[in-house]
Structure 1
Amino acid sequence: MFENVEFANPQFFWLLLLLPLAILWYFLKRKQEVASLRISSIKGFTVKSIISKLRPLLFVLRLLALAAIITALARPQTEDISTRTKTTKGIDIVMAIDVSSSMLAKDLKPDRLTALKKVAADFIKKRPNDRIGLVAYAGESYTKTPITSDKTIVLSALRQITHGELEDGTAIGMGLATSVNRLKESKAISKVIILLTDGVNNSGFIEPSTAADLAVEFGIKTYTIGLGTNGNALSPIAYNRDGSFRFGMRQVEIDEKLLEEIASATGGKYFRATDNEKLEEIYDEINKLEKTEIEEFKYYKYDEKFRPLVLLAGVLLLLEWGLRSSIFKSFI
């Protein structure tokens, strides 16, 4: 009955300090409760009764009743909390991912694309109230997943992204334009593109500056990420006879000026990720910069538990009165 019970008025428990005083008073005054008779001898009085020895039971019953009343005044109660959340500012996000062959470079572990997919998956899981879509691009681009609130679909599509789906190259303008196309009809208050690349724009028929102008026109903020270590990286440089890649050291070339211009024009920010840890930090920072405003409503339901205590006190007092008026009547 009293599992997970809290007390609304715990200050009433200070009244329990009266109980030791009452016990002390009882032991000091108990002999004055009955009339005394002085006689020279008790010989001839052979009647023995246990009832007189049980007389303190009346005081115990009254004490227990008082303790029950004090506990009832403290208002024991259980609390049931139900929560409802309301998203007051939704964000639609498109993640544009470079899947060119250079994304297989091994300066991030185990390679750039695998490291990105892991960090991007963590980012998606941290955005439960937003809609997210995926765009993949290399020499051209396509929509892997339209913006959706179903994170299971997005995470599954992210796992399926791999090199070789598109003609090789780096069409930054195409990747950005496709992302804008996915968001231009969005009714969300905030629209965001996270564009990641590890190279320079060398493919596609849409200039990155043109795609950036489209993003500005539709009020879409773009965060750009340049992925790759400084200097040289172990990257694919040719094909072996069996179709696999041959790796060798190659200069890391990222058009950071272009990425900075895109981010600045659209109100976003440019980041450079040179290793796995830095990539994680960048997505964490973007996650903090683009916060969804959530209003939480809590409903409290209280179940009062003092009534059984009041009933118990009443029963104890009634029992004490009954015993005093019957069994103990001739002694008290």
Structure 2
Amino acid sequence: MNWFSPYWFYPKTLLSFYWANVYLLWLLGLVPFFFFLKWVFSSHRKQTLLLSVEGLAGKRGLLVKFRFLVPLFFMMGVGCLVLAIARPQLPGSGSENFTEGVDIAIAVDISESMLARDLQPNRLEAAKNIGRRFIEGRINDRIALVAFAGETVTLSPLTTDYVSLKEYLADLSTDLVKTSGTAIGTALASCVNKLRDVPGKSRVAIIISDGDNTAGAIPPETALELARSFGVRVYTIAIGKPGSDEVVDEKTLRMLAGGPEGRFFQATDNTALTRIFDQIDHLEKSLAESARVYDMTDYYYQYLNWGILFFLMSLFLRFTFLGNLLED
């Protein structure tokens, strides 16, 4: 639309803009205030001039009232200049794009207790099956895979090779790590290590386990501090039914999920585990949508053109008889 249009001053138009420097709009309220102060101080200094103008008012009638056009146009020019430097913007047509995907590190407990059959066919196989579905639902996300018992082993660094990831997941077994125990703190630290240097803010560690921290050189509290310092969200899943032969200890997992934007989930059966991964999938997609990038188009030049026009009109009128009335 042509800049020379009243459309740019409609309230609906002004409210539709994204203002890059929105804090500058408060200057609009100061513009008339400063002109009012100028008028007050000048009226005190030039009381005789006011009488002169009043005398002219009787002679020239309506024309004398036009003397206010000069400061009015100047004030409108200043207002348009403020709108211009506040940078009104609108998203460009068809410019909506998603940012890069989420970086996710998944750590799966492969200790002997994960062979308990309170989930079908057992806890480990249930986690592998649902994890496979979770991987299939990703598009641009990079995923790393870590297995842990008394020690940790990295099966895959961050990658979008989902075919290989599913193969690594299928090969998970309790034979991969010979050291017994559950090194949850070390597992989380390993996940953070894979995520700490990646760009962006969408970094997630998912810990799947059924026990408390009983092994490893890094305490869970230290690992959580590392996650916080690198901005890694921690989702923990306690897998197993309470009261089963293999006790499910949730204390450490709940503590780890207490960080910023962390979540704790409890998978007491296969259906619950499926719902948990669906929730995590939904959480990450919601965060990705909130991080949309728009190709913004600036419209400051419309108001800059109007400002220049008002300044020129004010300058022109100042050199006519209206300017003489102001100086009289």
| Range class of TM-score, shorter chain | 0.5 to 0.7
1:6-55: CA deviation from partner (whole Å, max 9, x where unpaired): xxxxxxxxxxxxxxxxxxxxxxxxxxxxxxxxxxxxxxxxxxxxxxxxxx
Q: Are the equivalent residues in 1 in contact too, given 2:212–2:251 (CA < 8 A)?
A: no
The corresponding residue for 1:142 is 153
Q: 2:98 aligns to what SS in structure 1?
A: strand
In structure 1, distance between residues paired with 2:172 and 2:200:
26
**Is residue 85–residue 295 contact of structure 1 (8 Å, CA) maintained in 2?**
yes
Q: Paired residues, what number? A: 197
Matched with 2:201 is 189
1:30-85 alpha-carbon deviations (Å, 9 max, x no partner): xxxxxxxxxxxxxxxxxxxxxxxxxxxxxxxxxxxxxxxxxxxxxxxxxxxxx999
In the other structure, the counterpart of 1:312 is: none
1:261 aligns to 2:272 (yes or no): no
Please give the alpha-carbon distance, in whole angstroms, between the structure 2 residues aligned to 1:266 and 1:149.
26
Runs of 4+ that moved beyond 3 A: 83-87, 292-296
Kept in 2: contact 1:215–1:266 (CA 8 A): no
Map residues 1-332 of structure 1 onto 2, 5 A cutoff.
Answer: 86-166=97-177, 167-232=179-244, 250-254=245-249, 256-291=250-285, 292-293=288-289
Q: Could you report, residue by residue, the CA deviation over 1:90-121 in whole angstroms, capped at 9, with x for unpaired residues? A: 21001110000111110000011111100001
Cα separation, 2, equivalents of 1:175 and 1:98: 9
In our comparison, the structure showing a higher alpha carbon Rg is 1
Structure with greater helix share of residues: 2
2 CA distance for matches of 1:152 and 1:231?
Answer: 37
User: Matched residues, percent identical?
Assistant: 43
Q: 1:85 to 1:109 in 2, by over 3 A?
A: farther
The 1-side partners of 2:175 and 2:95 are apart by 45
Q: Counterpart of 2:154 in 1: which secondary structure?
A: strand
Q: Find the residue that maps to 1:290 and give its secondary structure.
A: helix
2:238–2:248 CA contact under 8 A, matched in 1: no
More strand by share: 1
Structure 1 runs not aligned, ≥5 long: 1-82, 233-249, 297-332
RMSD across aligned positions (CA)? 2.1
**Matched-pair contact (CA < 8 Å) for 1:226–1:259:** yes
Distance (whole Å) between structure 1 residues aligned to residue 171 and residue 200 of structure 2: 27
Tell me how far 1:227 sits from its aligned partner: 0.5
Gaps of 5+ in 2: 1-93, 294-328
Return the letter of the residue paired with 1:252: V
- Go from structure 1 to structure 2 and tell me whether the alpha carbon gap of 1:133 and 1:84 turns closer, same or farther (over 3 Å shift): farther
- Post-superposition offset of 1:253: 3.1
Asked if 1 retains the 8 angstrom alpha-carbon contact of 2:201 and 2:231, the reply is no
What is the DSSP-based 3-state SS (H/G/I as helix, E as strand, rest coil) of the residue aligned with 1:267? coil
- Separation of aligned partners in 1, 2:173 and 2:260: 28
2-side partners of 1:157 and 1:227: how far apart?
20
TM-score normalized with structure 1 length = 0.56
Contact 2:113 2:210 in 1 (8 A): yes
2:167 alignment partner AA: S
SS at match of 2:237: strand
Task: Compute the displacement of 1:210 (Å).
Answer: 0.2
